Structure 1
Amino acid sequence: MNKYSVVFMPDLKTIELIKLMKLTLADEIGWFNSKNSLAHFTIFEFLEEDINMERIEKQLERIASGINTFDVLCNSYDYFDNGAFYTKPNKSSTEKMRSVMKVILAETNNIKKTITNTTPHLTIGRRLSSDQLQTAQKIFTEIHLSFEIQYLTLRRFDEKIRQFVIYRDFPLLGNSKEIQGSLF
């Protein structure tokens, strides 16, 4: 079985900026969880055999084709009690992304998920101690990231590098949903 994650990823400029922020934090506190992970918004993770992936990929392609691209604005930092420090989308971006995440989760109810998420955030560091969180809050005080989400991304866990890598991008096309059956 392989481990997969379905995510939204920001544009390359934002990915590079988050990467730089992670390196800056590492210079201050040393190594931490998610230091080498590319910026992403997790929707869900799952375990699956390769033999079933063609069906899942077609399902994700169909789902993505019915979603419109959308803009995201991240303008603050926050943290979770578990020690995750992250950039936070503004209220309207959070509401939009949360609603799309819920649709994706509902439309993939045949996939057995190991993790689900409907709280959009771009993690800078995970499992930070309270001292490390305080350091992160001192370093990072202002943020303004603006980007368009254009793809639903399927990532596969690479055991050699111990990170998820992009497996396939599914473009958000905004096509209308097919209507099954007909009205008389």
Structure 2
Amino acid sequence: MNLKLNRDWYSVVVYPHPEVINEVAVIKDKFAAKIGWYASRNSKAHITVIAFIADQYELAFYIRQIEKFCYSQKQQEVVFDQLSLSKFSRAAVMLPNDSSKPYLNDLLKRLRKQLKTSQTINGSNAHISIGRKLSSSQIDLAESLYSHVSLKFNCDTVAIRKFIETKGQFEVIRTFRFLEKPFNDAQHLLFN
């Protein structure tokens, strides 16, 4: 009898509203029309918090931790209005504006702390990827595409995504809303 549990790759992400996901898809379509195929072309807009490998029981731990975090988490409107193209990192990403950056940095830091185990890999600073593994010529072509971009959304959802081997993509398997509820003393004891 095989008692070994299957372990899969997962990621925890801040997940924008569907309208913003669609706006990013349009940006990616425009990139693809100009520069051709690239990595992250089909990935839906998100802000990576962590990635991890887990079996069903370990995944249940992460789900409980995310529920605990989201119970009292405050929502806030955020704006991504800077497009950064880097030949060094070979990436095109959207960055938050100066007023959104502190909220997002704090959110990612606290959520990573809540989820930290020996199995987790932290994402980087808050950004929404447009393309990865871009060549220098693709970046040169992309530089002329946009004079100004701006995405605005209420940051109120975290999602768990599972890597689907056959598609080579992560897909959302569960979402969690920020409930903005204060903990009372009894709840602190239950959640800790």
TM (norm. structure 2) is: 0.88
Tell me which amino acid in the other structure corresponds to 1:74: F
What's the counterpart of residue 158 of structure 1? Answer: 164
CA distance in 1, matches of 2:20, 2:136: 26
Determine helix, strand or coil for the equivalent of 1:139: coil
Q: Does 1:112 align with 2:138?
A: no
Query: For residue 79 of structure 1, what is the aligned residue in structure 2?
Result: 85
* Aligned-residue CA RMSD (Å): 1.5
Q: Distance in 2 between matches of 1:178 and 1:113?
A: 30
Contact 1:94 1:119 in 2 (8 A): no
**Conserved in 2, the CA contact under 8 Å of 1:7 and 1:152?**
yes
Pairwise mapping of residues 33-44 of structure 1 onto structure 2 (< 5 A)? 33-44=39-50
User: Greater shift after overlay, 34-43 or 154-163?
Assistant: 154-163
Output the CA distance in 1 between the equivalents of 2:114 and 2:184.
Answer: 14
Deviation at 1:111, TM superposition (A): 5.6
Find the counterpart in structure 2 of residue 147 from structure 1: 153
Q: 1:34 is matched by which residue type in structure 2?
A: S
Amino acid at match of 2:133: R
Change in 2 beyond 3 A, CA 1:105/1:172: same
- Among 121, 128, 138, which residue is 2:127 paired with? 121
**Percent of aligned pairs with the same residue?**
26
Counterpart of 1:91 in structure 2 is 98
Contact (CA 8 Å) 1:77, 1:141: kept in 2 or not?
Answer: no
Helix, strand or coil for the counterpart of 2:143?
helix
CA shift digits 1:54-80 (9 cap, x unpaired): 222111111111211111111121134
Counterpart amino acid of residue 117 in structure 2: N
Greater CA deviation, 161-170 or 54-63?
A: 54-63
Contact preservation (8 Å) 1:79, 1:86: yes
Q: Distance in 2 between matches of 1:127 and 1:98?
A: 25
What is the total number of aligned residue pairs between the two structures?
180
Q: Partner of 2:166: helix, strand, or coil?
A: coil
Report Cα offsets for 1:87-136 as digits up to 9, x if no partner: 1110111111010100011111236213x134111111101112111211
Structure 1 consecutive aligned stretches of length 4 or more whose deviation exceeds 6 Å: none
Question: 2:51 touches 2:123 (CA, 8 Å); kept in 1?
Answer: no
SS of alignment partner, residue 160 of structure 1 = coil
Report SS of the residue matched to 1:128: coil
* Distance in 1 of aligned mates of 2:24 and 2:176: 23
**2:139 counterpart residue number:** 133
| CA offset digits 1:140-184 (Å, max 9, x no partner) | 221121111121111111111111101100110112245446xxx
1:59 equivalent to 2:75? Answer no
Extract unaligned runs of 5+ from structure 1: none
Q: Which residue in 1 is equivalent to 2:74?
A: 68
Query: Which of 88, 103, 107 is the matching residue for 2:110?
Result: 103
CA distance in 2, matches of 1:91, 1:69: 17
